[in-house]
Amino acid sequence: MNKAELVSKMAEKSELELTKKQIEDALNAFMASVEEALVGGEKVQLVGFGTFETRERAARQGRNPRDPQQVIEIPASKAPVFKAGKVLKEAINK
């Protein structure tokens, strides 16, 4: 499902009869808010749905795919992570 399909699905399920434009604006605001929180080092918990957070990835050595003999240094980084909540896991496993 892409963003346009998600907006359409949300419009169908909306009890407030919001337009697709209003729903897209709300979705964009949600994504920007989550991004801002993650950049600030916070985590975003949506009870029953899941948690968005960042995790540190340590620096490590890897191999160049074009030349497996060549060792390359992969720098440390932060990675966004989503952990599904209990209710979401149960819904998926029905």
On whether the CB atoms of residues 23 and 7 are closer than 8 A, the answer is yes
The CA distance from 16 to 8, in Å, is 14
State both tokens at 73.
Answer: 């240094």
pTM of the predicted model as reported, rounded to 2 decimal places = 0.80
Q: What is the mean pLDDT of each run of 10 residues along the chain (94 residues)?
A: 94 88 96 97 95 96 92 95 95 93
Q: How does strand 71-74 pair with strand 60-63?
A: antiparallel
pLDDT at residue 15, as a whole number: 84
pLDDT at residue 17, as a whole number: 85
pLDDT at residue 70, as a whole number: 94
pLDDT at residue 16, as a whole number: 84
